Amino acid sequence: MQIRITLLPGDGIGPEVVQAAVKVMQAAAEKFNIRIQLTEKLIGGASFEKFGTPLTDETLQACFDADAVILGAVGGYQWEALPHHQKPEAALLKLRKELQLFANIRPAKVYSAFAGASSLKADVLSGTDFVVLRELTGGIYFGEPRGYDKTKGWNTMTYQRHEIERIARKAFEIARQRSRKVTSVDKANVLEVSQFWRDVVAEVAEQYPGVELNNMYVDNAAMQIVRDPKQFDVILTSNLFGDILSDIAGMITGSLGMLPSASLGEKYALYEPVHGSAPDIAGQNKANPIATIASVAMMFGYSFQMTKAGQLIEQAIERTLEQGYRTVDIYQEGNKLVGTTEMTAKIVENFEAIFHEEGLGVFTL
């Protein structure tokens, strides 16, 4: 099998963590006997500096031509004052829209080694394992009309029936592979668009009798994630609410630097760490590569049906953490402090070791 991956390292620590992902992909390619063709392009501030735009047609085309895209991070202080369409973030939004990546999956899973690092009590947290499924190409992020003038600013939250149906189906399908529970989060007590969302989700639910559906208002959901995160399995929500809830979900795990994400459409897929570009530690070999490496694990599972490769990468991450290796963001006394490249090398080493322990030999797909 041959797969084509487009790499978009982006800004800040993006290049370092994407480099880590490449190392892990290469190790997996060798063991699982596949060929990976890599193409690298600029995005975000890096692209703006060179071409005056955060996303060129060339970069976009390279994404259309790939089987999957891996993105590092975009953004930095120096580009914050630019007009909206030139900001690094605009590249990400355009990419999502152009590739029609309507489903954003952000797992909130607590690694046992980290229960102590969260702002929540370990007993509230332990066993937490849910995903936020965020609608990514609609809602108030893209609704028209939008704008501002001297006297007012305005945005529009709209959802078409088909947009809700497809993300709801995805939620129920994911839930079927997990604990069979979907919590749809909205603001139906105030917003008409949310009432419509709620009605359409209920209709879709009828086609998935094995999955339980609950509805929750977004303010309550924010509270419940902090109060009792174990109650959730799949949180299904719209673009803006998902943006906010996925940050809360990420934070309670105690390890934002460890959270991967997948953005999926019918045809294309993009994988990226949940964390940002962390310009303050860029280029210092300090960044935690785990979120991006875990995104590669998601890629093997979702894009290439290589579930085994994905699982082995996850196991390698867990073993490396159990061995006490930590980058500075997750370091606690008694741990072994390592940089980005050492952490990556340990994960690759463990990946190869687990592969051989399992007696997999050379795996041919």
DSSP class of residue 338 equals -
Number of residues that bind ligand IPM (CB under 6 A): 4
Structure tokens of 95?
Answer: 């990419």
Structure tokens of 350?
Answer: 């463990």
Element (H, E) at 298: helix 290-304
Q: Which is nearer to Mg ion, 243 or 314 (CB)?
A: 243
Q: Which is nearer to ligand IPM, 136 or 171 (CB)?
A: 136
Q: Which is nearer to ligand IPM, 53 or 126 (CB)?
A: 53
Least Cβ distance, residue 185 to ligand IPM (angstroms): 16
Q: How far apart are the first and last CA of the chain?
A: 7
Catalytic one of 65, 219, 228, 280: 219
Binding to ligand IPM by residue 92, rule CB under 6 A? yes
Give helix 14-31 / helix 290-304 axis angle, nearest 10°: 50
Structure tokens of 218?
Answer: 């977004």
Least Cβ distance, residue 197 to ligand IPM (angstroms): 18
Residue with tokens 């090398």, as numbered in its chain? 345
Active site residue 243: yes
| Integer angstrom CA distances of residue 341 from 24, 29, 173, 256, 346 | 11, 19, 37, 19, 9
List residues bridging with 148 in a β-sheet. Answer: 153
Q: What is the CA radius of gyration of the chain?
A: 20
- Catalog residues that contact Mg ion under the rule CB under 5 A: 243
**Cβ atoms of residues 105 and 261 within 8 Å:** yes
Active site residue 219: yes
Least Cβ distance, residue 290 to ligand IPM (angstroms): 18
**Is the preceding peptide bond at 88 cis, omega within 30 degrees of 0?**
no
Active site residue 187: yes
CA distance 324 to 334: 8
Residue nearest to ligand IPM (CB): 89
Binding to ligand IPM by residue 98, rule CB under 6 A? no
User: Among 27-35, 39-47, 53-61, 86-94, which window interacts with ligand IPM (CB under 6 A)?
Assistant: 86-94
User: Among 87-95, 109-117, 222-230, 326-334, which window interacts with ligand IPM (CB under 6 A)?
Assistant: 87-95
**Binding positions for ligand IPM, 227-256, rule CB under 6 A:** 243
| Identified binder of ligand IPM from the candidate list 30, 40, 67, 89, rule CB under 6 A | 89
Catalytic one of 11, 87, 111, 141: 141
Interface with ligand IPM (CB under 6 A): 89, 92-93, 243
Give the residue numbers marked as catalytic: 141, 187, 219, 243, 247
